[in-house]
Amino acid sequence: MRGCTNWKWACAWLAVAAGSLFQVVRAGESRFAATNSRSQYAHWIDLYDESDHRIDPTDPNAPPYSPLRTCGRCHDYDAISHGYHFNAIDKNSEKGRSGEPWIWVDPRTGTQIPLSYRGWTDTFDPRKLGISEWEMVLQFGRHMPGGGPGEVGTPAEGAAGEAAKAPARPASRSARKSSAQAARWNVAGPLHVDCMVCHSANMSFSLEAWRDQIAKKNFAWASTAALGIGTIQGDVAELPEGFDPSKPVEGDGPKLPKTTYSAGLLNGEKKFFIDIVRTPTNNACYNCHTTRLVGKSAGPDWTHDQDIHLRAGMKCSDCHRNGIDHQTVRGYEGEKHPTGVSIATLSCRGCHLGEGSGDDLNVQGRFGAPKPLHKGLPPLHLDKLSCTACHSGPRISAEAVQVQTAMAHGLGLPSHEYSAESAPGIVEPVLMPDDQGKLYPHRMVWPAYWGTMKDFKVKPLHPEAVNEALRRAIRVRRGSTFAETMAEVKLTAADKAKALGETRSRTPDSELTEQEKAKLAEFSKGLAAEALSKKLAEALKALKTAVKEPGAEPVYIAGGKLYHLVKEGEVEITEPPAAKPYAWKLGHDVRPARSSLGATSCFDCHAIGSPIFESKVTAISPVPDNKPATRAMHQLEGLDKLRLDAWSQSFQGRASFKYFALAAMSVVALIMLSYSMKGIHGIIEWGRRG
């Protein structure tokens, strides 16, 4: 009997596999609707819930709509969900070149860990740290478009297109690591790919509403609230443990969140009008890809120019294109598209310089892109420098400037905490070579985390486990942070006298000048750095309770340094490779040619002290540090300073040398002309004598 059952299951799986293959071959013929027109389709549509039932928006007990069941009726949701923005968790997806990671920031413990499912060098896989998909969604769902970690399995089979009949994808172990989280998934529902994050045409999609619903653990309700077609009352987060949504609720007992749809968007057939645009607007991209320079050297926001391409009227999607598979072109040199289609002309070099072959030659210079002549620039520069090295990001100055990003700092959401000190500390531009030795500008962040070290290998601990272990040892007050606690010192009268002098030290703080307050702050910073060793020693000692691996010991990494307890109350500081920063290449904002590096003259780079080689890159750490790890740009570029200085010195007299050479050549030319005239005269005389 069991063998017969197994045979039936095998036949069923073979049928599904054969059907899937047939569907792939015939994709676009009958499975999904299409207009094949350049005009926008008017989306008066029915909404469907997670169970694939048509929603009656006037029903007081109407459920939230499901993007899978609603959009998936006409569009290939399965193909879309494997696109670049959603497939990071898929082990079979192409990781591509390293990009911006998710940075887990915990201000209570001074933690900022770069995380990525893609296996990028110097990032950490959340699953290996015991961080489940549930935790990733709660931490970063504010800037996730749904799908990926938000889908722990394929929903039950329904009528949302034949793609819904594909074999179920089993939930990952990390997402189901505890029964409590598994139970919450069942109540919160899946966080499907929300098409409206990118395709809403009238800017009605609210990132704030999306964030708020995820924070309330109302995953299945997030799309309805964010699009603004309904209001949600109730929080899954407030429901008691063990709540079972399948059981009827008696009286005023706990209930699932209630959805109330907006009647103003309905027609007589109870269909909703969803204003959809095929090609996403720049505003949609900026939801997750905004950057902002901060700090004293950054200047006010209104003084910064936008990317030159966008100022010229282009859209992000003009270069970062995709088909229904949503494999968005990232646009870097050497990128290979999963479809096998050539995308050489969608990179800076391919579009402007016309590099490519075959059919690419017919589409170089897309949108009328000018071909730069680079007059006077030796070809060697184009071999050693990327386009972005001269044209992207802020101009290189004496020090790398701090930058905030949407993914790292939650830009786009209302907050009172967008100060330059907001963690994590990221700087740009940092010129570093790739595997071929070509220089690219990067953004850089220094990891900070508590971990274990064994055989000189460091592994981060789960942030929540660290918080539990260090809660009493660090004693971070409510409303404060780990960084503030570590920097906190009490100045004695003697300390004030050292900083301000005996007379001014007795002056009340309210009567001190701004300069004197700055002196006290600087003096306090020095004392905090001196007291850091004692505070960290206490914390590392307390952390031993969270270290379960035999032979491993607790450490703290921050600002490019490793803090290690060598004996009671004494901390040793080293700078091992495990503490090195994570860097990823930047492409935007692109500056126009007149603002590019070298546009003024060769002396932009080839002069003593030029920022391209001498700019300082200083580590940003959550703990006080009197001697932060600092590198000159040429060190990160892997260049020899002596040779650079010698070459720059030779440029000082370059103009004079040109005039001297021109004069010398003129003298030689005159001499040669004189002898030529004499020769001609001699030939003429010889002819006469003959």
Write out pLDDT tens, residues 393-447: 999 999 999 999 999 999 999 987 788 888 999 999 999 999 999 999 999 999 9
pLDDT in tens, 72-101: 999 999 999 999 999 999 988 888 899 999
pTM: 0.85
Amino acid letter, 686: W
Q: Which residues of 90-125 are buried (b: 16+ CB within 10 A; e: fewer)?
A: eeebeeeebbbbbbbbbbbbbbbbbbbbbebebbbe
Find how far residue 388's CA is from the centre of its chain.
17
Angle in degrees, 0-180, between the axes of helices 179-188 and 133-140, rounded to the nearest 10: 50
Residue 355 to residue 351: CA distance in whole angstroms: 7
pLDDT of residue 688: 77
Amino acid letter, 460: P
Q: Kindly report whether the peptide bond that precedes residue 429 is cis, defined as omega within 30 degrees of 0.
A: yes
Averaged pLDDT, 384-394: 93
Amino acid letter, 158: G
Amino acid letter, 420: A
pLDDT of residue 29: 55
Q: Which residues of 127-145 are buried (b: 16+ CB within 10 A; e: fewer)?
A: bebebbbbbbbbbbbbbbb
pLDDT in tens, 486-523: 888 787 788 778 878 887 777 887 878 888 888 887 77
Determine the straight-line distance between the first and last CA of the chain, rounded to whole angstroms. 124
Would you tell me how many other CB atoms lie within 10 Å of the CB of residue 667?
Answer: 10
pLDDT of residue 356: 54
pLDDT of residue 601: 83
Residue 543 to residue 473: CA distance in whole angstroms: 9
Residue 218 to residue 233: CA distance in whole angstroms: 10
Cβ contact 660:618 at 8 Å: no
Amino acid letter, 108: R
Cβ contact 559:576 at 8 Å: no
β-bridge partners, 433? 439
Amino acid letter, 39: S
pLDDT of residue 355: 63
CA distances from 63 to 116, 141, 231 (A): 34, 22, 11
Please give the residue that has the higher pLDDT: either 394 or 524: 394
Instruction: Work out the angle at residue 144's Cα, subtended by the Cα atoms of residues 138 and 146, and round it to the nearest 5 degrees.
Output: 95
Q: Kindly report whether the peptide bond that precedes residue 46 is cis, defined as omega within 30 degrees of 0.
A: no
pLDDT in tens, 447-457: 999 999 998 89
Dihedral over Cα of 174, 180, 186, 187: its sign: negative
pLDDT of residue 175: 40
Report which secondary-structure segment, H or E, holds 622.
Answer: none
Please give the residue that has the higher pLDDT: either 177 or 146: 146
What is the DSSP secondary-structure string of 325-373? T-------TT---TT----GGGSHHHHHT----GGGGGS-SGGG-----
Query: Of 485, 606, 619, which is closest to residue 560 (Cα–Cα)?
Result: 619
CA distances from 141 to 8, 203, 467, 620 (A): 41, 19, 22, 26
Residue 182 to residue 171: CA distance in whole angstroms: 10
In the chain, what percentage of residues exceed pLDDT 90?
Answer: 49
Cβ contact 221:257 at 8 Å: yes
Q: Kindly report whether the peptide bond that precedes residue 424 is cis, defined as omega within 30 degrees of 0.
A: yes
Query: Of 140, 232, 132, which is closest to residue 179 (Cα–Cα)?
Result: 132
Cβ contact 410:143 at 8 Å: yes
Mean pLDDT value across the chain: 85
CA distances from 273 to 46, 68, 93, 159, 268 (A): 9, 18, 35, 22, 12
Query: Of 316, 358, 355, 353, which is closest to residue 341 (Cα–Cα)?
Result: 358
pLDDT at 16 over 50: no
Q: Which residues of 400-417 are buried (b: 16+ CB within 10 A; e: fewer)?
A: bbbbbbbbbbbbbbeeee
What is the gyration radius of the CA atoms in the chain, in angstroms?
32
Q: Residue 602, by phi and psi: left (phi above 0), alpha (psi -120 to 50) or beta?
A: alpha
Burial of 465 (0-12, 13-18, 19+ CB in 10 A): middle
Q: Give alpha helix (H) positions in 141-265.
A: 179-188, 196-199, 207-215, 222-227
